[in-house]
Amino acid sequence: MAWGIAKLLDFIADADLKAQISSLPTPPKTGWEMIKLGGICSVTSGGTPSRTKPEYWGGNINWIKSEVCQNSYVLENQVTEKITQLGLEKSSAKILNKNSVLIALVGATIGKVGYLTFQSTTNQNIAGLYPLNEKTLNSKFLYFASQGLYSQFKSLGGFAMANLTFIRNLQIPLPPLKDQEKIVSVIENLENKIEKFKSDLNALASKNQEILQKYLFSQNA
């Protein structure tokens, strides 16, 4: 336990991390300009090819559901179903760019987001967002900013479904691009440190079990 606390204190006291956080851009007194998503992003939803048409399924085009939206990166190994080119053409499914931001529109994950790390189609329960101009909006900044919209989805009430009009009217702060990039850099560094800390804790838990088995539960020959 002492080892774990020491690691946590080291993490909190990380001088490099503190320096990066202190270097973050300061918003103007009136705050960053708020912009509707529909004004800075393409906003689209997906679709599901007919399940009665086997020729629409089992192809080489990735297809994902809203369950992947967990405020985390969406990896290709999470794909459990693929569609064919015919399935794409005969449905409202659309291919989303790598680095698109996904927002769940309904269900247990409504309002949660994902960052697509590969090209994919989605079902109709996901909105896919991509910057209209990458010189104005950083896609990773869009991902982090979109996580701050969750409460607006919850205010819709239980069993609600958000639509694309609702998504387009949501607003996020829009700092200058260089400030967006600085914010993204600091958050990514923090994420890396968190993952390293989790890895250290997992190693500690494994060592704990090893000690229990060796010194408490093992039987003498």
Q: What is the pTM of this model?
A: 0.83
CATH of domain 34-174: 3.90.220.20
207 burial level (CB within 10 Å; 0-12, 13-18, 19+)? exposed
Asked if residue 86 lies in contact with residue 56, where contact means CB atoms within 8 angstroms, the answer is yes
Please give the pLDDT value at position 203: 63
pLDDT tens, the chain, 221 aa long? 344 445 554 555 567 777 878 888 899 999 999 999 999 999 999 999 999 999 999 999 999 999 999 999 999 999 999 999 999 999 999 999 999 999 999 999 999 999 999 999 999 999 999 999 999 999 999 999 999 999 999 999 878 899 999 999 999 999 999 999 999 999 998 888 877 777 666 666 666 667 666 666 666 54
Distance CA(216)–CA(206), nearest Å, equals 15
Closest by CA to 100, choosing from 60, 78, 73, is 73
